[in-house]
């Protein structure tokens, strides 16, 4: 099996590569179908997905059976001021991959986000709930989803949120480091979502890719919490001496509005008996044991 991974230097791309190398995750073994996979993992410098000609040449020459797109412009605040880059990376890039994938009948997995929803909800969102983004990041990510659905017949759109893992920067590392350095933190307590372990997500992406159940999937840690709850558990599991104070979003002056409630429900995974995502607290506790 030939597998092309774009955005391979990001935390999810590296996590997928780690799983393909070790063939084992905390929640299970990677399917034997991947054992002798021929993997081409490219970062944004090696393959600019916004350049259609480069994408077309890469895909036509390598001929992947599976393309996993982890490339994205995820700086939510910068997206508000650099709209053209956000559009290119989050929408036109996925469109280019979709067109190239369709030409060789390859499967395409595209990683999307809870930001495609406005965040003005009270119950976890399912795959059949209608997106209504309120930020440039969310709007461009949604457009990327639309382009993929229009251009590619073998697509999987996997929406996730609040991702953390062993590679790169993330909220868990930020809180652990800040707690050690300062001993006092203020964290917002009025934004609710689903912390997601990157290894758990990577495992499910590889499982979904082996099916022909094309469409949209939500894939986040089970359960929901606020950023304050999340930070409290990080400090507790890390056994760091630190005081933490809850604050409201009004205390933060950011260009992009954050979703107040953007918890996702893994309804499609559940319906297909494929959901092995752990409760967010369980996954976090095991992760901190690992990184400590």
Q: Which residues are catalytic?
A: 137
Which residues are CB-contacts of 5 (< 8 A; sequence separation ≥ 6)? 13, 16, 17, 39, 40, 41, 42, 67, 68, 70
Across-strand partners of 112? 159
Largest Cα–Cα separation, the chain: 56
How far is residue 80's CA from residue 67's CA, in Å, rounded to a whole number?
A: 29
Number of Cβ within 10 Å of residue 121's Cβ equals: 16
Q: Which residues have C-beta within 8 Å of that of residue 175, sequence separation ≥ 6?
A: 185, 187, 230, 231, 234, 235
Q: Which of 286, 169, 161 is nearest to 234 (CA)?
A: 286
Roughly how many angstroms between the first and final C-alpha of the chain, as a whole number?
35
Q: Where are the alpha helices (DSSP H) in the chain?
A: 11-22, 52-62, 76-81, 83-87, 93-104, 136-151, 171-182, 198-209, 227-238, 267-271, 280-291
* Contact by Cβ (8 Å): 116, 75: no
Question: What's the DSSP call for residue 202?
Answer: H
Residues 6+ apart with CB under 8 A from 210: 31, 33
Separation CA 37–CA 91 (nearest Å): 28
């Amino acid at each position: 099996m030939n597998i092309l991974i774009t955005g391979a230097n990001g935390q999810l791309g590296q996590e997928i590569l780690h799983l393909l190398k070790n063939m084992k995750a905390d929640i299970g073994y990677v399917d034997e179908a991947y054992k002798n996979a021929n993997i081409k993992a490219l970062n944004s410098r090696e393959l600019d997905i916004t350049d259609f000609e480069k994408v077309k040449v890469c895909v036509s020459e390598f001929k992947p059976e599976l393309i996993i797109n982890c490339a994205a412009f995820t700086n939510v605040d910068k997206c508000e001021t650099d709209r053209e880059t956000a559009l290119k990376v989050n929408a036109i890039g996925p469109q280019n991959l979709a067109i190239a994938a369709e030409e060789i009948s390859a499967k395409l997995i595209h990683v999307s986000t809870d930001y495609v929803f406005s965040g003005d909800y009270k119950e976890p969102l399912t795959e059949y709930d209608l997106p209504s983004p309120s930020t440039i990041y969310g709007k461009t990510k949604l457009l990327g989803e639309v382009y993929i659905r229009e251009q590619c017949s073998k697509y999987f759109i996997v929406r996730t949120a609040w991702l953390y893992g062993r590679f790169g920067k993330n909220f868990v590392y930020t809180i652990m480091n800040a707690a050690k350095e300062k001993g006092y933190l203020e964290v917002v307590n009025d934004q609710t979502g689903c912390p997601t372990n990157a290894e758990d997500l990577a495992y499910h992406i590889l499982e979904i890719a082996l099916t022909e159940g094309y469409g949209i999937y939500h894939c986040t840690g089970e359960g929901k919490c606020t950023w304050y709850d999340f930070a409290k558990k990080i400090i507790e599991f890390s056994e760091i001496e630190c005081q933490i104070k809850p604050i409201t979003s009004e205390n933060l002056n950011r260009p992009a509005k954050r979703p107040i409630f953007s918890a996702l429900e893994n309804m499609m995974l559940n319906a297909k008996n494929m959901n092995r995502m752990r409760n967010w607290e369980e996954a976090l506790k095991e992760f901190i044991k690992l990184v400590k």
